[in-house]
Amino acid sequence: MLSTIERVLVLSPHADDAALACGGIMARLADRGAEMMVQFMTVDGFHHYGTDGGTTYRQRLDEIEAVAKLLGFSWDIAYGDQDLIEKLDTVPKRDLVDLFEKRINELRPDLVLIPSGADYDQDHVATFETAVAALRPIAPVFGKWLVPHVLVYESPKIMWWVDAIPRPEVFVDISDVIDRKLEALAAYDTQARPSPHIRCEEAVTALACLRGKEIGVEHAEAFKVLRSVLS
């Protein structure tokens, strides 16, 4: 089915979420020639625990550019350098829905990849909730593109949660491209932190290993499906 995907839109709350969660499927889709766009939501020099506080917006842009080349995507930042990291809850939802609908109607993607809403991070929640609104089903005859495949990605950090963990049902074998995924992750080097950080390479690899075993391969990425129209 990957072979039928021609256009992909990835919604990434922050700079490294896309690579962290779906760098593998992106590498595979890029290899098959899919047109891929990443919509980053907020990017700036925000300080994270265990990272060097001196990160600049410029550095973050350079990192994104490097990863874009590695994984083969075009990109846009909705709120760049506006001190809105962890503040998407203060943006009216209609603005985010409007932005997403614009992207969807322009790109007419076969596949949209979105973050989970079962996340403690308000930017991920805002991105998820407004993506769901923007992806509501309206027949194309009424002027809105109906995206046939909508998948929710995961990463190690979503295990910190207040309820049962949504079980992913869709799997992609990334055994052949996991090195490229880890390379992409490393390219966000202002964000890199060693084990036992929840985002470290060991954790990302462990999750890929577990997901792989669920389909009898070495490494996989897994997704929850919100909609999949088979044709």
Long-range contacts (CB closer than 8 Å, 24 or more residues apart) made by 99-104 = 99/39, 100/11, 100/39, 100/130, 100/131, 100/133, 100/134, 100/135, 101/134, 101/144, 103/9, 103/37, 103/39, 103/76, 104/9, 104/134, 104/135, 104/144, 104/145, 104/147
Rg (CA), the chain: 17
Residues β-bridged to residue 43: 80
Q: Taking the complex as a whole, how short is the minimal distance between the CB of residue 65 and a copy of itself, in angstroms?
A: 27
* CA distance linking residue 13 with residue 225, whole number of Å: 19
Q: Taking the complex as a whole, how short is the minimal distance between the CB of residue 80 and a copy of itself, in angstroms?
A: 18
Q: Taking the complex as a whole, how short is the minimal distance between the CB of residue 207 and a copy of itself, in angstroms?
A: 6
Which residue, 68 or 119, is less far from a copy of itself as judged by CB?
119
Q: Taking the complex as a whole, how short is the minimal distance between the CB of residue 182 and a copy of itself, in angstroms?
A: 15
Q: Taking the complex as a whole, how short is the minimal distance between the CB of residue 57 and a copy of itself, in angstroms?
A: 18
Which residue, 102 or 206, is less far from a copy of itself as judged by CB?
206
Q: Taking the complex as a whole, how short is the minimal distance between the CB of residue 19 and a copy of itself, in angstroms?
A: 18
Dihedral angle computed from the Cα positions of residues 19, 22, 23 and 25, in that order, rounded to the nearest 10 degrees: -160
Distances (CA, A) of 139 to 109, 144, 163, 196: 15, 7, 34, 47
* CA distance linking residue 38 with residue 14, whole number of Å: 11
Which residue, 61 or 133, is less far from a copy of itself as judged by CB?
133
Q: Taking the complex as a whole, how short is the minimal distance between the CB of residue 6 and a copy of itself, in angstroms?
A: 14
Dihedral angle computed from the Cα positions of residues 203, 177, 175 and 22, in that order, rounded to the nearest 10 degrees: 50
